[in-house]
Amino acid sequence: MNIRNITHRRFILGLALITVVSVVPHISLGVGARKPVKFTTHRIGKFRSEACAVGDFNNDGKLDILAGPYWYEAPDWKPHQFRSLEGKVDEKGKTHSVDEKGIGYWDDFMNLPLDVDGDGLLDVVTCSWFSRQIDWHRNTGPNAGQWPLVLGEKNGNYECGDLWDIDGDGKELEILAHTKDTKWYEAGTRADGKRGLIRHDVSSNQRPFGGGVGDINGDGRPDIVRPDAWYEAPLDPRKGQWKEHPLAVGSLTEGNAEHTPQIWVYDVDDDGLNDIVTSSAHAHGIFWYEQTRADGKMTWKQHVIDKSWSQAHSITLADMDSDGDLDLVTGKRFFAHNGNDPDAHSALGVYWYELKRGSTIQWTQHIISRGEHISSSLSVPVVDLDGDGDLDIVVTGKWGGPVYFENTTKSN
């Protein structure tokens, strides 16, 4: 079984403004019954950006939130402006921002906490669609004001990206970029002797956006998964040749490949073979793909988890009910294409889907928020933010965030 260690992930904004309590329906776990999973909603800010992350940015032992131009200091979520997104101009001279209706984009599509320069402080790795670059903000300390922006490289449109364990050392320190080609980055010493981002090319073949990492073939090495191919990891992921294999995920039409968000590799049915969990980023459908083997041939059977709403553009697997298997956390991206996606104007929501194993696999939807104009966007960090032993959720989007869903199950 390949259970990924869900720890740090993505970033957020502000001072708690509104507090709302939502109760997820009763969960029965094994013998007897556990408490219902409960969340308290904290609206921390109102900035209309689409990437967020969580990390300890001032080394005080507490997890902070980062999104837009701010990082928010735990536990009171005091905002610190570490950069300016206002007036950011792309290579064509166009300025990008988001209006009060959620139309437009900030050219900031990824926020990942990573100590790039090795000084012991978490920096922030970002990427841009319109500026076509990956870069990072160097953390110069909690009271240092603006963090300098360091260009990684200009290399095509970057939709977003995620931290994964690509080299197999058990640490999620490598970045799989969501680009048309397949490449990953790590922090290290570059050829010029400076610390920065080092690129590793996997394939120049052009593919739909989306990707993930996990051991597909059971050889103990993390493979790279794209919507229409998976790449078998070599012994040396930095210098070896990645072998391409066919795949098709992310579409309600089985056998077709479409744009996905994160692609997770996990043994859903506990049969010893790792399966795939993902969704359609812009249309309808959340899926798991059952891996089967016959006569040495690998095949995939599609199972639809939910197709009742669209634009599930971020997915995280995490054990929300503490029963030992991984559940699914996701939400509806708000105006990914400014209202032009299927079902773009329906109610926003954030959900977790409870995995129940048995003679059949069941995924039960639990509503964390719906109809409150709150959702997730390009990332949905799931982490024990307050250190009380259960998993919390952080989201932001063009509706104006971030929002922190405090899991109060163990404290009640």
Find out whether 286 and 312 touch, Cβ atoms under 8 Å. Answer: yes
Domains and CATH numbers, the chain: 39-407 (2.130.10.10)
Report d(CA 395, CA 120) in Å as an integer: 26
Return the pLDDT at 94.
84
Report d(CA 303, CA 290) in Å as an integer: 7
Find out whether 348 and 334 touch, Cβ atoms under 8 Å. Answer: yes
Return the pLDDT at 2.
43
Contact residues for 53 (Cβ-Cβ < 8 A; gap 6+): 8, 9, 10, 11, 12, 65, 66, 67, 111, 112, 113, 124, 379, 381
Identify whether 381 is preceded by a cis peptide bond (ω within 30 of 0).
no
Return the pLDDT at 318.
98
Task: Return the exposure string of 200-209: e unless at least 16 CB atoms fall within 10 Å of the residue's CB, then b.
Answer: bebbeeebbb
Contact residues for 365 (Cβ-Cβ < 8 A; gap 6+): 306, 351, 352, 353
3-state secondary structure the chain: CCCCCCCCCECCCCCCCEEEEEECCCCCCCCCCCCCCEEEEEEEEEECCCCEEEECCCCCCCCEEEECCEEEECCCCEEEECCCCCCCECCCCCECCECCCCCECCCCCEEEEECCCCCCCCEEEEEECCCCEEEEECCCCCCCCCCCEEEEEECCCCCEEEEECCCCCCCCCEEEEECCCEEEEEEEECCCCCEEEEEEEEECCCCCCCEEEECCCCCCCCEEEECCEEEECCCCCCCCCCEEEECCCECCCCCCECCCCECEEECCCCCCCCEEEEECCCCEEEEEEEEEEECCEEEEEEEEEEEEEECEEEEEEECCCCCCCCEEEEEECCCCCCCCCCCCCCCCEEEEEEEECCCCCEEEEEEEEECCCCCCCCCCCEECCCCCCCCEEEECCCCCEEEEEEECCCCC
Contact residues for 48 (Cβ-Cβ < 8 A; gap 6+): 68, 98, 102, 106, 397, 398, 399, 400, 401
Per-residue pLDDT of the chain (412 residues; tens, 9 = 90+): 444 443 333 333 333 333 333 333 322 323 334 678 899 999 999 999 999 999 999 999 999 999 999 999 999 999 999 999 876 677 888 888 999 999 999 999 999 999 999 999 999 999 999 999 999 999 999 887 899 999 999 999 999 999 999 999 999 999 999 999 999 999 999 999 999 999 999 999 999 999 999 999 999 999 999 999 999 999 999 999 999 999 999 999 999 999 999 999 999 999 999 999 999 999 999 999 999 999 989 999 999 999 999 999 999 999 999 999 999 999 999 999 999 999 999 999 999 999 999 999 999 999 999 999 999 999 999 999 999 999 999 999 999 999 999 999 987 6
Which of 340, 397, 344, 402 is CA-nearest to residue 15? 402
Task: Return the exposure string of 294-323: e unless at least 16 CB atoms fall within 10 Å of the residue's CB, then b.
Answer: eeeeeebebbebbeebbbbbbbbbbbbbeb
If you search the block for the tokens 């735990």, which residue do you land on? 74
373 backbone φψ class: left, alpha, beta (φ>0; ψ -120 to 50)? left
